[in-house]
Structure 1
Amino acid sequence: MATQVNVKNPNIYALVLMIGGFMGLFSETALNMALTDIMADFQVSAATVQWLTTGYLLVMACIVPASSYLIKWFNTKSLIMTGIILSFIGVMVGALASNFIMLLIGRIIQALGTGVLLPIMVTVLMLIFPIQKRGAVMGIMGLVITAGPALGPTLSGVIISASSWHFIFWISALMYLVVLLMAISKTEDVGDITKPKIDILSILLSTITFAGLIFALSSMAEASFSNIIVWLPFIFGVVSLSIFIVRQFKIDSPMLDLRVFKYPMFVIGAAMVFITILCILSTGILLPLYLKGALLYSSVIAGLILLPGNAVNLILSPVIGSLFDRFGARYFGIVGFLLMFIAAIMFTLTISAFTPIWVIIIAFIIFFIGISMVMMPAQTNALNQLPHHLYADGSATITTLIQIGGSAGTAIAITIYTTAMKSFSKAYPSVGEEAVLSHGVQFTFIFITLLTIIGIILSLCVKRTRYNK
């Protein structure tokens, strides 16, 4: 059995980490409902304002891989405190922002804090709970990972309707203060500090990789692939990634121990998580734009329309976590992706400027039932395949993929959405703005449908293997 680390109160410890993780993930999409307001306040375009989401995810994707070093160099408690304090500073800058650049800087600082917290959350939970309880615990963690981004638009819609988008940051600041006080008294140091040699070149290569790829994808919202601002960073990203992978196998103390990919079920589970996050973040940025821009609902009504789907996720995630310990990941993955496919088809076939709202609510509920069935089982099954000494690298790898998936999902969705709208408005210049926006969203759901098909194929390959000891 994998080694378990004893702490005074593992449940409270887990609660601190999950609140911190939830706040960071909530912030990924919390501004989605406010993007139109921010565009008006700061006079920026949709392609520019989406950097508040993409930039946040990009910074996290750059910092998370280095977390495997951080966990081996610094005390767990110190890292948790650092992550929470950075997050608090970031939301304070956002709350006080008087221009777009200041707001973006605040988002970047908060993303640094979240990028430190998330991998620690996964690693610590794998260490402080025995393997027979991991399903239930990781079910709750899966809820945090999916509910954070999913609830962002709903909660922020209520906040915006009551006041302004600035209060999203003020309320977050209050929550971070509470979790900081809890962390001071309830967290302990776990894990081994081995202080491996830090490979600066690996950190630089990973940063260039993720910055290049995500910048290229995001730039495609305003420029074609033939434009130098798209293809040049894309090439830089691909070349850096290739060098990074080769280097990890050659150095004695790799930044990410890519031997985790020698475990087939880890690879499949990580890929399923990646696809699920692509779907969550793509949908998370599309539906608020559609509900407010095409169907003309207010922020609070748009948020409440998405609430039933989020509520289903809140209820199902812990239940599926408990059932996972009995049934494993295979059947959950197959059924979950099938449900996501059905929901994506419903969105693709029905979205227009006149879609009945009950159709959107039902499709969103089905979508999140599927997500609840895929996310936690896939991640837990993947990590359970790894030996104890690879937990930190495995969790850092999956968390990195989650951030890349989030960044890519947001960037690709906005790119497809913007391109489809431009093409449709040129073909039908007399059509109203609501119809053009609806077409952009509808066309983007074809991409999400294709992702769910890939997910179904992957889930068919899942096997319940014996856990590594």
Structure 2
Amino acid sequence: MNELKDRSVFVEASEVPKGPIIFVMVLGAFVAILNQTLLNVALPVMIVDMEMSANAAQSLTTIFMLVNGILIPITAFLMEKFTTRHLFLTAMSLFALGTLICGISFSFPTLLMGRVVQAAGAGIMMPLLMNVILSLFPIEKRGSAMGYIGLAMMFAPAIGPTLSGFIVQSYSWRVLFFIVLPITVIDIILAYFLLRNVTKVSKPKVDYKSIVLSTFAFGGLLYGFSSAGEKGWTSIEVLLPLIAGAGIMFFFVSRQLRLKTPMLEFRVFKYNMFTLTTIINVVVTMSMFAAMILIPIYLQNIRGFSPLESGLLLLPGAIISAFMSPITGKLFDRIGARPLALIGLGITALTTFLFANLTDETGYYFMMFGYSLRMVGISMIMMPIMTAGLNQLPRRLYAHGTAMANTLRQMSGSIGTAFLVTVMSSQTAKHVADFMPASGTPSELQLISIENLASIQGINDSFMVATVFAVLGFILSFFIKRTAPVEEDQEYNQQMATKSSSKRQVNQNVNPSHSK
């Protein structure tokens, strides 16, 4: 009984109330995602107020993504090294400190430092939350629990752009950080009293070489891909990080496969359903980013809508998908991932194709309806597919599976963004040449019209590529099957016991007097 009162000790899932733990951790994930979506809309205002360049402002987003992406692969090690409470409280405290620094900063370097501290905390939250759910819930109830993660993932982006657009039009951009900070502090207090240690700790040794290799490998790849959309794939600033990142990644993976206790276990890919669902999630994430990037560009740059109007168009779909997530989670527990994936990806493919036919007269409310329907499809895909893959892993690989799934989701988001923006840019340039009159020089008004039409066609071409991604995910979803955790934990424990027994036998043979 005393042990149950001590929140610092590990307790079995059956002995703890699950609701308070999930609420505290989902709230933490929610504010981390909300913080990121709030800032994107506020960057133009911050450029003027802080007197910084557009590149400097963009680096506030890039540095957050980089630190986040670098930290996520290391979370598997952190989750095995530290307890649930210790790790979550540290992550939330770092996030709160970074938020405070950003809110009171009056110079670009201070603001950038705040973003780095924020990202150091935020990167831990999602893998830790997923690992806790895998540890707390039996396989037949994980879908419902994962659905609440989907609610946080969808609802934060739903209200973020609209809320940010309203605030920056009426108040200082600093208010954005001071909205997030009290929620974060409340969550830290709740976590201190409610959070329990439900993940097992194995205390692995720190492998500094792996940490350094992981940092430069994932950092190089993420920076290269995130820069490619803006600077082009042939830019030295893109090629150098990509080549260096890929080379270092080879050594990182080789090292992980040689180590007995790797920092990030790549052997999770020997489980076929985890591998399949990870591939589908990568493809779907790349397709999902099409609408998130291209629709605001179309609305604001071509049609002349304000950022607030752009955010309002996306709001209903994001809210619908957020509230659909718990429903699809419960459906997952009943019927499995394949029916949900096929229906969801079918809807996603059709609605993405719908956006591949935009014109300069496409109706605002027609787009709102199409985007809302598309988000219904996406809400049926993301968490159910990821859960189906993680369900196959034995308990000892939960931390590595969640870290790997989140790492690849982060990578695919950067790759998808860069690739789709590149398609849009290159196709726009091609269409400008096609629309130019065969003879004579167009007037300034004609040139603006040609550029707008070419941009719309470039966006349509990019949506067509995203449709291909969705169709590929749809085809792969036919191979999803229901799985149960591989009965490897018992075998693994027996192997460890056999090795330990063998070592003792060797020691006894070497030193018989000691055995006496």
Partner of 1:68: 76
- What TM-score, normalized to structure 1? 0.91
Residue 115 of structure 2 is aligned to residue 107 of structure 1: yes
Report 1:113-124 matches (<5 A).
113-124=121-132
Partner of 2:439: none
Range with greater deviation from structure 2 (228-237 or 145-154): 145-154
Which of the numbers 369, 384, 389 marks the counterpart of 1:382? 389
Does the 8 Å CA contact 1:33/1:288 hold for their aligned counterparts? Answer: no
Partner of 1:295: 303
Which of the numbers 391, 399, 407 marks the counterpart of 2:414? 407
Displacement of 1:414 in angstroms is 4.1
Displacement of 1:4 in angstroms is 5.5
Distance 1:414 1:275 in 2: 16
Distance 1:159 1:408 in 2: 31
Partner of 2:145: 137
Displacement of 1:421 in angstroms is 5.0
Q: Render the CA deviation track for 1:69-127: whole Å, top value 9, x for unaligned.
A: 11111121111111111111222232234455443332222111111222111111111
Residue 32 of structure 2 is aligned to residue 24 of structure 1: yes
Distance 2:105 2:344 in 1: 40
Partner of 1:445: 463
- What TM-score, normalized to structure 2? 0.83
Displacement of 1:437 in angstroms is 5.3
Aligned to 1:284, what secondary structure does the other structure show? Answer: helix
Distance verdict in 2 for CA 1:37–1:423, change over 3 Å: farther
Distance verdict in 2 for CA 1:97–1:423, change over 3 Å: farther
Q: Which runs of 5+ in 2 are unaligned?
A: 1-10, 437-443, 488-516
Partner of 1:368: 375
Distance 1:225 1:424 in 2: 20
Q: Render the CA deviation track for 1:272-325: whole Å, top value 9, x for unaligned.
A: 222333333443233333333333233332222111101211221111111111
Displacement of 1:193 in angstroms is 2.1
Displacement of 1:453 in angstroms is 2.0
Aligned to 2:22, what secondary structure does the other structure show? Answer: helix
Residue 97 of structure 2 is aligned to residue 89 of structure 1: yes
Aligned to 1:221, what secondary structure does the other structure show? Answer: helix
Aligned to 2:479, what secondary structure does the other structure show? Answer: coil
Q: Which amino acid aligns with 1:27?
A: N
Does the 8 Å CA contact 1:32/1:284 hold for their aligned counterparts? Answer: no
Residue 340 of structure 2 is aligned to residue 332 of structure 1: yes
Distance 1:445 1:40 in 2: 33
Which of the numbers 313, 320, 333 marks the counterpart of 2:321? 313
Report 1:391-430 matches (<5 A).
391-420=398-427, 430=447
Q: Which amino acid aligns with 2:385?
A: A
Does the 8 Å CA contact 1:53/1:410 hold for their aligned counterparts? Answer: no
Displacement of 1:49 in angstroms is 4.3
- Between 1 and 2, higher relative CO (CA 8 Å, sep ≥ 6) is seen in 1
Does the 8 Å CA contact 1:32/1:288 hold for their aligned counterparts? Answer: no
Which of the numbers 221, 228, 239 marks the counterpart of 1:213? 221
Q: Which runs of 5+ in 1 are unaligned?
A: none
Range with greater deviation from structure 2 (266-275 or 96-105): 96-105
Which of the numbers 355, 364, 377 marks the counterpart of 1:357? 364
Distance verdict in 2 for CA 1:165–1:356, change over 3 Å: farther
Partner of 1:341: 349
Displacement of 1:66 in angstroms is 0.8
Does the 8 Å CA contact 1:58/1:403 hold for their aligned counterparts? Answer: no
Distance 2:458 2:180 in 1: 32
Distance verdict in 2 for CA 1:49–1:364, change over 3 Å: farther
Partner of 2:53: 44
Distance 1:52 1:128 in 2: 36
Distance 1:423 1:27 in 2: 37
Displacement of 1:7 in angstroms is 4.8
Q: Which amino acid aligns with 1:62?
A: I
Q: Render the CA deviation track for 1:195-221: whole Å, top value 9, x for unaligned.
A: 112222222222212221122223323
Q: Which amino acid aligns with 2:464?
A: I
Which of the numbers 189, 211, 227 marks the counterpart of 2:197? 189
Q: Percent identity?
A: 34
Does the 8 Å CA contact 2:287/2:416 hold for their aligned counterparts? Answer: yes
Q: Which amino acid aligns with 1:442?
A: N
C-alpha RMSD over aligned residues: 2.5
Does the 8 Å CA contact 1:348/1:443 hold for their aligned counterparts? Answer: yes
Q: Which amino acid aligns with 1:105?
A: M
Aligned to 2:448, what secondary structure does the other structure show? Answer: coil
Residue 207 of structure 2 is aligned to residue 199 of structure 1: yes
Which of the numbers 231, 246, 249 marks the counterpart of 1:238? 246
Distance 2:18 2:111 in 1: 36
